[in-house]
Structure formats: C-alpha cells, structure tokens
C-alpha cells in the first residue's frame, strides 16, 4: 500500500456555486453525514462570513458527532483595512468552531491589483498576518493559494512568495488552486517541481494539496497527475459540482487512487458507498443523474449488444476498466432481460418473498417492471412501491380499502393571498362507507389529510406515519405543463422510513398513487409484524 | 504557429454507441455537413459491415460535396477464416467508396485469445493482410490499435508487434486506442516514448494518433498530453458522446490546442462555430445540453459569487480561462443571493432600464430581491420574472388585466383512470369582465388553458406563445407535502424564449404566479416592440 492521500470535499461550499445547485441547511447536514460514512477526511461546510445559510449550518453541525470526518470553515484573508483581531470574516470563522479552518489568499499579482486594489507587499502581509492570528486558535489550518497556477505563469517569484508567507504564518497544508480551470496537464509537472524546490528552502515542512476546476475538462486528470507528482491532499466535490464547469470530481478521483494507483485513504474502506453517495447528492440538489458519469453513472458499465456483450460475459476485463460492484455500481447488459430477472430475484430474497428462477411469475414481474419503467416509474428511489408491485403479482397483497372517488377544489379569490384548498374522499373499508373532507396547504396536503381522516379510525397505526419528503420531477419538458411528472414520497414511522412513487400527466394523480402506496406499505408492515 | 494536428470525428460511429443516442440517416448527413463547416479533417460515418443504417448513410454521402472534410468508413480486420478479397466486412468498406478507411485490430493478447479465439501469430497475419489488401484501393488508410494501452501494459512486445504489422501492411497513421478508458495521465508518457522508439526501427514513417475513452474522466487530458508528446491526430466526438462514459470530447480538446497550445488545424478558422455545432448534435440526438460542459456549456462562463462578479466586470481574465465569444459562447452574470447591487445594475443596463448606482430605487430592488430569495424565489433561472420585478419597482410595468378569482376542480372517480380536471377563471380587462372555463390534463394545464381563453381575445399575440418547460422543486423536504414548492416555467414565441418563477406551499399557486409572469412578460415585450 502506497502513501496516504487526504480527501477534502467542498461540495457544500464550492459545489453550491454550481448554477441550479441550491440545498437547504438540513440537506447540507444529510450530505455531511453521508460524506462521513463514505470516509471523507475533511468536509468544507461553507463560508460563514459570506452567507447566513453557512452560519446556520455550522451552528447545527457543532452539536453532532462524526465518525471520522473533520468539518472545515472557509474564508478569505483579512481585509487590508482591518487588524486581524477586528476582521469580521476571520472572527466569523472562529465562531464556526470547526476543527479545520481553510483560508484563501491571492497568488496572482493581477488579482492583487485588479480585485484587492492593494500593493503586492500588502497582500503578502495580510496572508501571513491572517494565518498567524488563527494558528493558535484552531486544530488544523490550511491555505488555499487561489489562482496559483495562473499566478505562477504570470509571475512565478511572487506566486511562490505568497506560499512562503502562508508557511511563515503557520499553514500546515498549502493547496495549489487552479481557480479558473485553465491549466492543461502537461503544464503541471514543471510547476509542481518548482514549488517542491522552493519548499525545501522554507521555514517549516508543509504538505501540498491541489484544488482544480474543470473548465478545460482536465480537473480529474490534473488532480491525479498532481498525486503522481507527490501531492498529499486532493480537494474536489461529489459529481464534480462547482462554479462554472465544476470542480475536480471526487467520484472519479477516489476510485483511481484506490484501485489504480494503490494509494491509502480512509475512503478505501467504504468505497462501495460511492454510488449511493453520488445519487444522494443529486437527489437532494434535485438535479438529474448523469448517466454517462464515470464509475457511478448508469451507463458506466452498460454494454450494448454484439461483440462487447459476449466478450464481457467471457471476461469482463475485455471491456471494463474495473468491476462495477467495487464502487457500488452494477453491470448492465442492454437488450436482455437477464439483468432484470437477476435484480428481481435479488430483491425477492432481500424481502423474504418466495420466488425461484424457474417460477413463471418471475417473467410476469420483470415485464411489468419494464413496462412501468417505460412509463416513467423509477424504483431505485422507491423500493416500497416495487415491493408492493411484487406482492401484488405474487398474490400476497391485501386490499385495505376500496376507493370510490375524491374531489379536490382549489379556489383563489385574492391576487395577494394563496388559494383555499379543500379535498373530499369517499371509500369503503370492509362494509363501511367513509366520506371525509379536509382543508390543506395545497392539493396534495389536503388529499393526504382527508385520506388519514378516513382510514385512521380503522387503522390507528397510521397515526405513527409521517411524510418526511416529497419530490417532483418533470419527465419530459417537451410539452410544457402537459409533460408527465414523477412524484417520490418518503414516509417514516418510529421503526423505519420508506419511499413510494407515482407517475401521471396530472401531478395530483401521481401524488395520489405515491400516497396510496405509502399507506398500503405501512399497513402491510403492521400485518407482517403480527 | 506550431505543427498541424488532424481532428478525426467519430460522433457518427463511436458516438452513436452512447446509451440513448439514436439518430436517423438524415440527421447523420446534417451533422456531417455541420462538422465540415466547423473544419473537421476526417469524419467517421459508421461501420458499413455492421449495420444497414451506415450503409445507407455512405450511399447518400457519396453524392455530396464537402468543403474540407474527408469521410471515413470503419471496420475490423478480416475474419481469420476468409481471404481478404472474400471477406464481407472488407468488401463492404470498399462499397462505401470513401476517401478514408479505418481498420481496427487487436493489440491485446487477452482479446486475441478470449474474443477472436485465434493464435497470436494468426492475429498478426490478418492485420498485415487486411491492410495490404485495402492499401491500393483507398486514398487514406488508418489503423486503430484497439486496446493498445491495456495490451501494452500486459505484453508490450506483442502490442508493438501488431503496430509493426499494420505498418508493413501500409497504414499511413497508427491510432493508439484506450478502448476501456482505464489509462491514467501519468501512465501515458513512458508508453508513448516507447512506441516512438519502436517506430524508428520500422519499415516506413507513419503518423501517430490517439483515441481515448472517458471511463477514468481523463479522455480529454490524455488526448492533450498525447499531443504534447508529439502525436499528430486526435480522435473524439462532439460533446464526448460514446460507448459507456463516452469518447474524448472534441469541444474541449479543440479550443485547448488552438488557444492554449498554439497548434495549427483547419478548425482554427471556424472555431466560433463550436458552440452551435455542439447544440446541433444534442438537438438531433434529442439529448439535453450539459449546462456545465466546458467551453460550450450554458454555465461555462456564468458568474454567481459576488466577488467573482465584480472582479469579472473589471477584468474578465480574473475568473475566465478564455473569452467566451472565441468559441461562440457568451458570458452570463447570475442573479443570486450572493450577488449585490453590481448584478442589479448590470441587468438594468442589459435590459435598457435607466438605473444609476446613486438611485435610491437600487437599494429597494436589491432588498426586495434578497427578501424574495429568502422566501425561495430563484432568479438565476427566471430572468423574465426578475425584469418584471425591476420594472414594477421602477413604475414601468403596465397591468394588462385585473384578477378576480379562479377555481380548479380535480375529480377522480375510478382507481384505474386519471382524474377529470376543470378550471374556471374570472378577470377584468379594461372594463370588461371575462369568465372562462377549460378542462386540462392536470390542474396547471387546465388553469393555463382557461387563462389563454380569457386573454387571447384582447391580446391575440398570446397565441404565438407556448410553454416549453415546466419544473417543480420542493424547497424543504422536511415537512412532507406541506413543504414550499418552486415552479419554473419556460415559454417561447417565434422570437425568443423566457423563464419565470413562482413560490408557494400550494403548487397551483406557485404555478399560477409563474404563468402570470410569463404572460405579462410576453405582453410587455409586444408593447416595447411598438
């Protein structure tokens, strides 16, 4: 096993700079926990000085214990006008009370003049000064040399001098940043060699890191090259989200250093979580998965007919650079049901349902699954609906109620105020007709409330059940509001949580399907507990 | 100007191997013409031996004259059982009547055994033999050394021997293929050096090319590294489409060799067509544009962070690696809670609204913007709503109608069938009361139809307007169906397209807000045209 590489994730800071990437504080917490489970060493949570959401995040995270990861707060060197101990940005970093603080400073003389409007010497002063102020107050202190590569190409001596000052100030790791993402791989080796020479003459030993952006579609390659040149820390984001074209993509970097370069890192132990972590981030950011994404994409190990398929069957290495399950992904042989059948059998076993490979019902389930997926249903994120589907085909699913009708009325009478929403529902439980009505914040909420009113009398356990998440995705934008929508609902009781799905051109119909599945799943769980 | 690089596009062959990438013969012709206008040197049209669509393509293309590009037909070495002059695959290549033929053969001993099931010597024989047969019958003859890098790592002497036979057979260019995409950048230099040594001992001088796949997210970087190591031809696809994770992306490679490496190529003359060519391929393949794509993506030159925005307006190079218009793209300044007055002033200027930095209304707009964004409104994806907001504050926005009320009824009476949806709306235009009703696929669609019925009589231009996209995002999943939703609507007329936003706990209210903005924007545009 080679030397140990530190993985520094900035999905929650630089990643949120990506266009259309907006997540709540609670989602940031969920991602933090997932990154910790994955074995990420450092998690950059945000810039407390720059926006309130970050400050709230750091307050919430302080109370929580993580298995391995250390949370980092990010900020700039002090403003030239302030002394360090009076600089609001530096003080907000200390308020975040994180084990790690990462400070960025200017390495490029053009930026010192055109962005900071101060002298080159002044910039050197605030770098050393800001770090020296923080050094005794924090466990780990990192320095991001912003625009280092552009700065070096422009004025190498000055770029190196800024690093020197960061070291004098007490930085323990110096991260070389390709902030504009313009650096090409062949430019890296001479620059990094020169930096290593320079470091030998410095006051203290430090570790080196790299922070790349993908504007030249070389962020992953540059990061891996840097590692092969002896760099110890890689900064990147899950799925490569970030400003403009994004940051270095950790879901491609980590498998390369683990499986191909044989280097050590904490993630090595949990790398089969890479796929689910990648999906979680997309899901919470409500951005589609990139099917062509290396290692974790749906197509990454998909083989179309002909030569490839037969060769892969005989020897997967003929057309795959690694085995998909190493990163939690699966091989897909397109134009063949075998993947489908295997998947169904796997789930049946998992859920304790009797189903053998020779059972004719297997084909029924697989083809029904295919048909529904063609209609837009997606069961990866809604396993409860999939289990109900299997139980229905296998004749194991009870009907807990008989639907008669529902009506939802949304009435708006004031331009300034939200509409009034009322739902009524009629159904039968056993012999009894139930007819209930309810108001709601919106049509789905009103329908949900009316349903519960109707059923809780007969099935009190439904009171334990709450909806914890509701997601809507428009499947084809082609026909505007006539497009199909897929609704994913996540529900929870005191024991566990489950997800269900519905699809329709009518968003209320799609929501209704997911609601009904969610209630049926809860009631089925209760029956099986008895 | 440095040496000349040949650009070889395989979008129409390897690109069509991408999952979900399906195009008609006519679309292949259109792409061929677009690639020719862009200045691509070689266009690989397909594998005539392997599928009928390709054969039809080659028939059609024979009649057409291209400005610069030469079309290539792709195929494998002959089958071991056949003599070259009787091999159907080789004969179908000649039938294609292209100026270029590209033959691929096996470099990796594992493949010779596990895929071809022949001896290593037999493979050497069919490589030389197939090329020797074709050499006198075609203008340009290229050889793709499939799996070259994996083969070299496994058995370097054999991999090199296969190249030697291709040269003996008459290949004028040898393309080193990383077919599985598993090769990392630091592995490239020693391998390519060894190949160059080997070539010095060969019977004839040949050119070298590279064909990379993106399974390690290094295809672009590996191609550029290869060029820096002296390779003369790059094979890739537009937008990086291809088997599994795709091929080397030419829309990232070409700008790098032109603007950063200073090398010559025909595309240099027409590189400002890169953006439109990229869009055309996505459109014909009916796949969405990747907004984060380097150089040609919508976000590639979009600036969000407040600091970035002010710096970029002073000196674009501070946060851009090249000028967007060089590749036909544009700079975009995003509205977001991190942006301040700078963004607002920039937009006002862009939209021709009188607003100076000293105007007290500037603060009003900025604070209203912040307030709305805290409520969940997001204007970076809904600029039309933002322009209306500014015009309202500046007193420039007319009220085209006065809202009275609407009612939407969703009635479901059959578990198996979608509900019936009806919307009614009451409003005033000038003095006239209008009261209309409409059915719809869903509540939003019904409301949209009723609105149009009501207004088109007074504003016929609304007939030109169509909704092209509808997006829903749940802002905080924590409270289940009570969570706020943000609706983004994209509309289009024959002139342009625009996006609007609405936010509410009630999805219909949010949709209504976005619909009303969309209609007001269209009417405002018409007024300003007069």
A447 and A479, same domain (yes or no) = yes
A213 and A323, same domain (yes or no) = no
Residue B412 burial (CB < 10 Å; 0-12/13-18/19+)? buried
Q: A101 in helix, strand or coil?
A: strand
Q: Which of A326-330, A440-444, B388-392, B402-406 has the lowest mean pLDDT?
A: A326-330
Of A250, A284, A318, which one is at a domain's C-terminal end?
A: A284
pLDDT one-digit tens code per residue, A465-507: 988 888 887 775 444 455 788 898 989 898 888 989 999 999 9
Helices (H) and strands (E) in chain B, counts: 17, 16
Asked if A294 and B214 come within 8 Å (Cβ–Cβ), the reply is yes
Task: Calculate what percentage of chain B has a pLDDT beyond 70.
Answer: 96
Asked if B478 and A26 come within 8 Å (Cβ–Cβ), the reply is yes
Asked if B476 and A26 come within 8 Å (Cβ–Cβ), the reply is yes
pLDDT at B424 exceeding the cut of 90:
yes
The CATH number of residue B325's host domain is: 4.10.430.20
Asked if B407 and A412 come within 8 Å (Cβ–Cβ), the reply is yes
The CATH number of residue A88's host domain is: 3.20.20.70
User: What distance lies between CA B2 and its chain's CA centroid?
Assistant: 29
The shortest C-alpha distance from B66 to chain A (Å) reads 30
In total, how many domains does chain B have? Answer: 3
pLDDT at A336 exceeding the cut of 60:
no
Over residues A115-133, mean pLDDT: 96
Of A336, A360, A379, which one is at a domain's C-terminal end?
A: A336
B254 and B332, same domain (yes or no) = no
B chain contacts of residue A418, beta-carbon cutoff 8 Å: 504-506, 509
Return the pLDDT at A95.
95
Q: What is the band of A308 on the pLDDT scale with cuts at 50, 70, 90?
A: low
Return the pLDDT at A268.
96
Over residues B106-126, mean pLDDT: 94
B256 and B147, same domain (yes or no) = yes
Counted across chains A and B, CB pairs separated by less than 8 A come out at 362
Over residues A67-96, mean pLDDT: 96
Q: What is the band of B19 on the pLDDT scale with cuts at 50, 70, 90?
A: confident
Nearest CA in chain B to A503: B418
Return the pLDDT at B335.
60
A311 and A197, same domain (yes or no) = no
How much helix, strand and coil, in percent to the nearest 5, is found in chain B? 45, 20, 35
The per-residue DSSP string of A413-482 comes to: --TTSPPEEEEEEEEEETTEEEEEEEE-SSHHHHHHHHHHHHHHTT-GGGGG-EEEEEEEEES-GGGGGG
Most A CBs within 10 Å, among B54, B75, B321, B489, to test the A interface: B321
B chain contacts of residue A297, beta-carbon cutoff 8 Å: 245
Tell me whether residue A245 is in a domain: yes
Tell me whether residue B367 is in a domain: no
When CB atoms are compared, the residue of A221, A245, A440 closest to B221 is: A221
Give the CA count within 13 Å in the CB-facing half-sphere of B216. 32
Asked if A216 and B110 come within 8 Å (Cβ–Cβ), the reply is no
Average pLDDT, chain B: 91
B251 and B305, same domain (yes or no) = no
Tell me whether residue B366 is in a domain: no
Return the pLDDT at A1.
67
Cα angle, residue A144 at apex, residues A143 and A150 outer, rounded to 5°:
135
When CB atoms are compared, the residue of A215, A286, A408 closest to B300 is: A215
Nearest CA in chain A to B111: A318
Over residues B327-341, mean pLDDT: 70
pLDDT at B452 exceeding the cut of 60:
yes
CB A223 within 8 A of CB A256: no
pLDDT at B476 exceeding the cut of 70:
no
Domain that holds residue B147: 6-284
Q: Between these two residues, B373 and B193, which has the higher pLDDT value?
A: B193
A278 and A315, same domain (yes or no) = no
Return the pLDDT at B479.
44
B213 and B81, same domain (yes or no) = yes
Task: Calculate what percentage of chain B has a pLDDT beyond 90.
Answer: 68
Q: B473 in helix, strand or coil?
A: strand
DSSP A116: I
Q: Which of A236-250, B138-152, B251-265, B381-395 has the lowest mean pLDDT?
A: B381-395
Return the pLDDT at B307.
67
Average pLDDT, chain A: 91
Q: Which of A405-414, B126-135, B297-306 has the lowest mean pLDDT?
A: B297-306
Distance CA B235, CA B178 (A): 11
Cβ-based neighbours of B52, under 8 Å, separated by 6 or more:
none
Asked if B470 and A472 come within 8 Å (Cβ–Cβ), the reply is no
A43 and A133, same domain (yes or no) = yes
Tell me whether residue A454 is in a domain: yes
The CATH number of residue A484's host domain is: 3.30.160.270
Return the pLDDT at B482.
58
Return the pLDDT at A337.
46
The shortest C-alpha distance from A396 to chain B (Å) reads 20
Asked if B409 and A405 come within 8 Å (Cβ–Cβ), the reply is no
The shortest C-alpha distance from A243 to chain B (Å) reads 8
Task: Calculate what percentage of chain A has a pLDDT beyond 70.
Answer: 95
Return the pLDDT at A479.
44
B320 and B280, same domain (yes or no) = no
Return the pLDDT at A310.
63
Return the pLDDT at B215.
97
Asked if A19 and B505 come within 8 Å (Cβ–Cβ), the reply is no
Edge-to-edge strand list for the sheet holding B466-474: B466-474, B485-492, B497-504
Over residues B183-206, mean pLDDT: 96
Tell me whether residue A413 is in a domain: yes
List A4's β-bridge partners, or say none: A264
A267 and A315, same domain (yes or no) = no
Return the pLDDT at B477.
41
Tell me whether residue B342 is in a domain: no
Return the pLDDT at A494.
86
pLDDT one-digit tens code per residue, B268-302: 999 999 998 998 898 777 677 898 999 999 899 98
Distance CA A108, CA B526 (A): 48
Over residues A7-24, mean pLDDT: 91
pLDDT at B351 exceeding the cut of 50:
yes
Cα angle, residue B69 at apex, residues B64 and B73 outer, rounded to 5°:
80
Tell me whether residue A196 is in a domain: yes
Tell me whether residue A392 is in a domain: no
**ipTM here:** 0.74
Query: Could you tell me where the DSSP H helices lie in A245-320?
Result: 250-255, 274-284, 307-314
Over residues A413-439, mean pLDDT: 93
B115 and B260, same domain (yes or no) = yes
Long-range contacts of A349-352 (CB under 8 A, 24+ apart): A351/A387, A351/A390
């Amino acid at each position: 096993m080679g030397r140990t590489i530190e993985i520094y994730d900035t999905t929650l800071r630089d990643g949120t700079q990506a266009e259309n990437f907006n997540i709540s504080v609670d989602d940031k917490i969920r991602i933090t926990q997932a990154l910790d489970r994955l074995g990420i060493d450092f998690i950059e949570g945000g810039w407390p000085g720059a926006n309130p959401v970050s400050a709230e995040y750091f307050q919430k995270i302080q109370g929580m214990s993580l298995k391995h990861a250390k949370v980092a707060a990010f900020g700039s060197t002090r403003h030239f006008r302030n002394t360090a101990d009076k600089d609001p940005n530096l003080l907000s970093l200390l308020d975040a009370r994180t084990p790690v603080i990462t400070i960025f400073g200017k390495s490029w003389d053009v930026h010192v003049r055109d962005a900071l409007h101060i002298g080159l010497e002044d910039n050197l002063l605030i770098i050393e000064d800001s770090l020296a102020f923080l050094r005794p107050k924090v466990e780990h202190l990192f320095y991001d040399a912003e625009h280092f590569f552009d700065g070096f190409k422009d004025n190498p001596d000055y770029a190196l001098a800024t690093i020197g000052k960061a070291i004098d100030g007490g930085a323990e790791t110096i991260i070389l940043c390709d902030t504009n993402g313009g650096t090409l791989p062949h430019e890296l080796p001479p620059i990094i060699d020169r930096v290593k020479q320079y470091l030998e003459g410095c006051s203290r030993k430090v570790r080196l890191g790299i922070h790349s952006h993908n504007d030249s579609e070389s962020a992953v390659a540059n990061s891996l090259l840097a590692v092969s040149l002896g760099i110890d820390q890689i900064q990147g984001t899950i799925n490569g989200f970030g400003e403009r074209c994004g940051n270095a993509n950790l879901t491609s970097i980590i498998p390369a250093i683990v499986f191909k370069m044989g280097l050590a890192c904490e993630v090595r132990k949990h790398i089969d979580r890479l796929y689910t972590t990648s999906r979680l981030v997309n899901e919470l950011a409500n951005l589609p998965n990139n099917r062509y994404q290396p290692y974790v994409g749906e197509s990454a190990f998909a083989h179309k007919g002909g030569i490839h398929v037969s060769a892969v069957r005989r020897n997967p290495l003929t057309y795959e650079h690694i085995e998909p399950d190493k990163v939690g992904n699966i091989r897909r042989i397109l134009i063949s049901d075998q993947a489908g059948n295997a998947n169904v059998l796997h789930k049946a076993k998992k859920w304790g349902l009797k189903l053998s490979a020779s059972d004719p019902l297997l084909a029924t389930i697989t083809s029904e699954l295919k048909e529904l997926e063609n209609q837009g249903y997606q069961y990866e994120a809604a396993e409860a609906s999939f289990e109900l589907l299997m139980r229905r085909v296998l004749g194991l699913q009870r009907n807990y109620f008989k639907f008669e009708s529902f009506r939802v009325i949304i009435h708006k009478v004031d331009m300034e105020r939200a509409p009034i929403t009322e739902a009524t529902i009629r159904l039968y439980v056993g012999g009894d007709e139930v007819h209930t009505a309810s108001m709601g914040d919106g049509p789905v909420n009103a329908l949900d409330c009316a349903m519960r009113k109707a059923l809780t009398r007969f099935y009190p356990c439904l009171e334990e059940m709450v909806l914890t998440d509701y997601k809507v995705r428009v499947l084809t934008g082609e026909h505007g509001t006539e497009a199909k929508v897929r609704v994913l609902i996540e529900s929870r009781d005191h024991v566990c949580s489950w997800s269900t799905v519905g699809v329709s051109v009518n968003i209320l119909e799609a929501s209704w399907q997911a609601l009904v599945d969610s209630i049926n799943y809860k009631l089925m769980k209760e029956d099986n507990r008895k």
